[in-house]
Amino acid sequence: SGTLLDGGGTGIEGVWIDAWSDTESVGGWDETASDGTFTITGLKTNATYIVSAVTGSGFVSEEVPVQTTDVTDVTLQITTGDSITGTVLSGGGVINGTEVIVAAFDTSDGGSFYNSTTASTVDGTYTLSNLPTGSYRIMAKAVGYGDSWYGGTAYDDATDVSPGTGSIDFSLVAQ
């Protein structure tokens, strides 16, 4: 549990807080209350989670180890950043009938998950907002389609991308 604060230290209401463990492939989420507090339940112990939030004005992402008991008093403070944008299509057309996820993985720490968004089903566009300065590898995926890494076939050979570098586009292949 913890609190999400804006740049001035005031709690932010109505923001989804996500916790994800790459090693455990498990996570959870909660929406912040009127005072910015949140409680994420059901996480496995003895794991490290990336806890993150994105608002229209900024982002935050922190590693939080969960040992054998609940972790309390996690304070997340929003900062601002830049964006990565593009399109996700298949065969030149929009992917209909399923959610399309685009995710950014921070290369400065070996590829931990940083931020994700759902691509538009109307025109296939996406925006990964409020990314801090740095380098990312970008992946797009959808149910019924193969995962696609920008400039490669997996994280290890994907192309590094910096926020604000132009359109990062994907063409997913149906399985």
Model confidence, pTM: 0.60
β-bridge partners, 64: 49
Residue 172 CA neighbour count, 13 Å, CB half? 25
Mean pLDDT along residues 55-72: 74
| Size (the chain), residues | 175
pLDDT, tens digit, 9 for 90 and up, residues 81-129: 788 999 999 988 889 878 889 998 888 877 777 667 777 778 889 988 7
Q: What is the pLDDT of residue 39?
A: 92
Q: Both tokens of residue 49?
A: 């989670």
C-beta separation of 15 from 31 below 8 A: yes
C-beta separation of 77 from 57 below 8 A: no
β-bridge partners, 2: 38, 74
Distance CA 159, CA 11 (A): 37
Q: What is the pLDDT of residue 6?
A: 82
The label of the residue with tokens 């604000």 reads 164
Q: Is the pLDDT of residue 68 over 70?
A: no
Distance CA 26, CA 142 (A): 18
pLDDT, tens digit, 9 for 90 and up, residues 14-58: 999 999 888 888 888 999 999 999 999 888 888 888 888 877 666
C-beta separation of 67 from 56 below 8 A: no
